[in-house]
Structure 1
Amino acid sequence: MIETIRKNAVTLALFAVFTTGLTAVVNHVTKPTIVHQMALNQKNLLDQVVPTDLYDNKIQQECYLVSDPALGNSAPHALYLAHKQGQPVAVALETTAPNGYSGVIQMLVGADFHGKVLGVRVIEHHETPGLGDKIELRISDWINSFIGKVVHGADDKAFAVKKDGGEFDQFTGATITPRAVVNATKRTALLIETLSGRLSSLPECGDAHE
């Protein structure tokens, strides 16, 4: 009986060592591929909010951190800076809409330093399928309605959903979600306007965003 238990224990121990080693090998082999794929996905997202013909630098490597209440919370948000012939021309800035129907909505807003929105993408949300999820590009092209829009100051009434007197469509049966996205985009674009003179003082993201 004791011998059987001992054999089983040894077998289990050897199996644990084998599976742990195999997992470590697989992780070592696949990690570069995963990192590369994540970088490609990130670059693709950045290209959707800041057109590539506007800049000539490696935007992913120009990453800084911004903390401001206009971004929906007090957490640091990543800012990716686009240069053209050495001059900053636009940014892609992570932002948060804290007041979605089902919670926070994480976004990426591209804009220049004159209030012009170049593109918006929703990175993460928990909105209602069939209603609020129309903020996703794969569901609807509504998110592209921001392209080329200019925010004319904090009192710009046009930069709002139509139900609030603005020019952006709301969704049938769901106004809270698009309102949250529109307002977050407006706040973020207005903040970006103020950043051109502060870029040199922003902390770098570090290796996590390179």
Structure 2
Amino acid sequence: MTEPAEKPRKSWFKSSPLAHGLMLGLFSLVTAGLLAWADQATEAPIAARGADDLAASLAQVLPASLYDNSPATDMRTVTDAAAGPVSVHIAAKAGTVTGTAFELTGYGYSGAIRVLIGVAPDGSLLGVRVLSHAETPGLGDKIEVAKTDWIEGFTGRSLSDPTPDGWKVKRDGGIFDQFSGATITPRAVVGTIRRGLEFFARNQAALTAPLAN
């Protein structure tokens, strides 16, 4: 009679809980290394893209003819009683400040609206752009310069043009158009721009002081 074949024994490596732990640890180590490498490899391109986006945004609210410095890197931080700490980009020619640009956030129908505001030393608007928002496509997104020219209508305005009572949408008694079916969004943008002009007025001396050589 033929004896039954002996069952193969499981190796210690396959059956040991310690071995399974070692394999899991090795897998985690390799995964972490790959993630770290990917993060390091993409860090520089992401930073470069961010710098390009910032420069492009600033160019829309600070005309290039106004400065011979780098507003993207020449900055001042102003701590304001109402707005809190605000980082301000400074445009200057031969050390004399010719413009400022800063970001404030308003809240529309669907959430935060980031607004970049360019202001001349006399307190008039050099330009305004919406950097990001989550407003309804086809309605609230008309605040984008790519959709309509509504945002460009603020250039040249100031706290005295119109008077403070005019810094509202027409539905609220002001001079600025609202959108059909969407009043909350333009109301938020108008209010944010007015807050920006008020911030500048409160801190005008600090913001327009000459740049250090």
TM-score normalised according to structure 1 size? 0.80
1:41 aligns with 2:41: no
Q: Which residue of 1 aligns with 2:32?
A: 20
Q: Which one-letter code corresponds to 1:148 in the other structure?
A: G
CA contact under 8 A between 2:97 and 2:208: conserved in structure 1? Answer: no
Structure-2 change in CA distance of 1:180 and 1:69 (3 Å) = farther
Cα distance in 2, alignment partners of residues 39 and 116 from structure 1? 26
Q: Which residue of 2 aligns with 1:164?
A: 172
Identity %: 40
| Residue 59 (structure 1) shift | 0.6
Q: Which moved more, 1:169-178 or 1:120-129?
A: 120-129
| 1:116-127 equivalent positions in 2, closer than 5 A | 116-127=124-135
Q: Which residue of 2 aligns with 1:61?
A: 73
1:82 aligns with 2:79: no
Q: Which one-letter code corresponds to 1:97 in the other structure?
A: G
- Residue 204 of structure 2 aligns to a residue whose secondary structure is coil
CA contact under 8 A between 2:77 and 2:86: conserved in structure 1? Answer: yes
| 1:146-157 equivalent positions in 2, closer than 5 A | 146-152=154-160, 155-157=163-165
1:4 to 14, 18, 22: 14
Which has the higher Rg, Structure 1 or Structure 2?
A: 2
Q: Which residue of 2 aligns with 1:208?
A: none
Deviation per CA, 1:26-69: give whole Å up to 9, x if none.
22222111111111111111111111111111111122223335
| Residue 8 (structure 1) shift | 4.2
| Residue 133 (structure 1) shift | 2.2
CA contact under 8 A between 1:159 and 1:166: conserved in structure 2? Answer: yes
Cα distance in 2, alignment partners of residues 183 and 69 from structure 1? 17
- Residue 148 of structure 1 aligns to a residue whose secondary structure is coil
Q: Which one-letter code corresponds to 2:24 in the other structure?
A: L
CA contact under 8 A between 1:54 and 1:84: conserved in structure 2? Answer: yes
**Any gaps of 5 or more consecutive residues in structure 1?**
202-210
Deviation per CA, 1:131-183: give whole Å up to 9, x if none.
22222233333222212223317844443322234332210011121012112
1:135 to 131, 138, 143: 143
RMSD: 2.5
CA contact under 8 A between 1:115 and 1:190: conserved in structure 2? Answer: no
CA contact under 8 A between 2:90 and 2:97: conserved in structure 1? Answer: yes
Cα distance in 2, alignment partners of residues 97 and 53 from structure 1? 30
Q: Which moved more, 1:112-121 or 1:7-16?
A: 7-16
TM-score normalised according to structure 2 size? 0.79
2:115 to 107, 118, 132: 107
Cα distance in 2, alignment partners of residues 37 and 142 from structure 1? 28
